[in-house]
Amino acid sequence: MTTYDLSTTPLREVNTALHAEGLSGAHVITRPAGAHNVAVGVDAPVKITIEGHVGYYAAGMNQQAEITVHGNAGTGVAENMMSGTVHVTGSASQSAGATGRGGMLIVDGDAAARCGISMKGIDIVIGGSVGHMSAFMAQRGRLVIRGDAGEALGDSIYEARIYLRGTARSLGADCVEKEMREEHLEELAGLLKAAGHEDDDLTAYRRYGSARTLYHFTHDNEY
Amino acid sequence: MCGIVGLHLRSPELHPHLGELLAGMLCEMQDRGADSAGIAVYGDPTWSPPGHSTVSLVEPDASPEEVAATLSATLGTPVAVLVRDVTYLLSAEADPEVLLAAARSAYPHVLVGGFGVDLAVLKGVGTPTDLAARWGLAGAQGWQGVGHTRMATESAVTPAGAHPYAVGPDQCMVHNGSFSNHATIRRELRAAGVAFDSENDTEVAARFVADRLAAGADVEEALTDVTRTFDGFYTLLVSNRDSFAVVRDAIACKPAVIAETDAWVAMASEYRALAHLPGVENARIWEPEPETVYAWTRETTREAALA
């Protein structure tokens, strides 16, 4: 196991080490003190543990790695993740999982505004609530919210699926509630299990997605 | 971009360390704005001596001795002048409005950084790290402080364009963001007789809040009025002689983090500015909700301390 103390080791040195060819094993980053860009761009089947709060874009562009943040994360945690897992034990700021293409982002606490904005295949499981405009223009992937959602959930959504246990303050344009069929219950059960919430009552969740009325220009869309 | 920081100390044991803690917060936010900076410190016994009122004059065109002599003669009571970089801190045993009027009358073209009975405002052009060193911020004491690191987007890089905007007695505002309808509101305030020092958007919000407070609103009402009147992106930190308040716009794209312990309440654009505060590892840390006013007062703080 390799340990990096961010109070004494420059961030660039740590990230460079995490980008080494053929990287393996477990890596621990201590005393991040809210630093930005911690463990970004990793592309290796490694385990990375960050002991403390991180700033912007932590674990961004992750591929393959299993990254745990023991603390809160700032703007854009796991943004554009391709594969692997990012787990935040605290809460996440705005744009968590933005534009993510694959892998899973788990936040045990809340996520702020624009969680899953423009998600393109990532799975996101939020233990608490999400802020306004979450899943804005989401294209693919699944967003599970165990708490409530702020205003305009799923605004201009394409084909992502949203599972919400609590209530949304409002739904965004073209986002509608959809039937929870057997395949959706199965899918939700799998996501909750992967995030450590297998005991949740699946029937308490509702599914939301696109009404598909914004896909093409029609005169009905005129103001 | 800009960065804002604020620290409201509940524990008197921390009062001697206010400047040191605030300097750490301010300098950590230098990455967010390095063209100018400003601070307001509440309760430093040297910068705003107890029993005196204090007025900050930024870049006065007269020597400190001359300013002291002129204003002492005008007021008929001794006016002391303490120089901190380009700011003169005037203090006298007089009503703050009286000291302010005398300073404005003697030096009508000089920028007033702030005024009150408990508040010292310092601002200038340069990096926050250099300015904090020149001010001797790390040695300051007090019960509350705020700071701003500026990356100018809509008005000149001058001391007048630097935050805080401390335009009402013991009031102070720092802002991370930009207002889009400030020109309209400035015109309305000017028409109502309010004078401005700069073309800065934040000054408009500060004068709007001061106007509401003077009309009898409390801080929460005044800031709720801000959310209804101003358009743009903002996280605002508004301090007063007895309060500390935070509000964000509806979109909430400008960052803000609040942390609270029994010993202090702190706010910053980013968590890293709070990472050195004592006991932060056990603090309650959260991101303020859009269009929600978060306010603390010294009274509730004292009650909390006694409880």
pLDDT in tens, A165-193: 999 999 999 999 999 999 999 999 999 99
B272 touches chain A (CB under 8 A): yes
**Secondary structure (3-state) at A159:** coil
Query: What pLDDT score does B305 carry?
Result: 40
C-alpha closest to that of B95 among B153, B51, B145, B48: B51
CB atoms within 10 A of CB B197: 17
Residues of B in contact with A35 (CB under 8 A): 272
Q: Which phi and psi (to 5°) does residue A13 adopt?
A: -65, -40
Residues of A in contact with B251 (CB under 8 A): 113
Most B CBs within 10 A among A6, A37, A53, hence the mutation to make, goes to A53
**Range B3-48+125-306: architecture per CATH:** 4-Layer Sandwich (3.60)
Q: Does domain B49-117 have CATH number 3.30.70.2730?
A: yes
Under an 8 A CB cutoff, do B270 and A131 touch?
no
The half-sphere exposure of B171 on its side-chain side, counting CA atoms within 13 A, is 21
Alpha helices per DSSP H over chain A: 11-18, 182-194
**Secondary structure (3-state) at B10:** coil
Burial of B194 (0-12, 13-18, 19+ CB in 10 A): middle
Query: What pLDDT score does B155 carry?
Result: 84
CATH number, domain A2-214: 2.160.20.60
**Secondary structure (3-state) at B82:** strand
CB B183 within 8 A of CB B133: no
pLDDT of residue B300 exceeding 60, the answer is no
Residues of B in contact with A88 (CB under 8 A): none
Query: Reading across the β-sheet that carries B111-116, which strands appear in turn?
Result: B79-84, B87-92, B53-58, B111-116
What proportions of chain A, in percent to the nearest 5, are helix, strand and coil? 10, 30, 60
pLDDT of residue A220 exceeding 80, the answer is no
Query: What pLDDT score does A197 carry?
Result: 98
Domain boundaries in chain A? 2-214
Residue B2 appears among annotated catalytic residues:
yes
Return the H-helix or E-strand segment holding B104: helix B96-106
CB A186 within 8 A of CB A202: no
How close A118 gets to chain B, by Cα (Å)?
A: 16
Per-residue pLDDT reduced to its tens digit, A25-53: 999 999 999 999 999 999 999 999 999 99
Per-residue pLDDT reduced to its tens digit, B81-136: 999 999 999 999 999 999 999 999 999 999 999 999 999 999 999 999 999 999 99
Percentage of residues of chain A with pLDDT beyond 70: 97
**Confidence grade of residue A215 (pLDDT, cut at 50, 70, 90):** confident
CB nearest B271 (choices: A53, A112, A131): A53
Same topology between domain B3-48+125-306 and domain B49-117:
no
Residues of B in contact with A55 (CB under 8 A): 270-272
Query: What pLDDT score does A209 carry?
Result: 97
The pTM of this model reads 0.94
Q: Which phi and psi (to 5°) does residue B150 adopt?
A: -105, 135
B302 touches chain A (CB under 8 A): no
**Complex ipTM value:** 0.92
Q: What is the rounded average pLDDT for all residues in chain A? A: 96
Alpha-carbon distances, residue A188 vs A97, A163, A205 (angstroms): 18, 7, 9
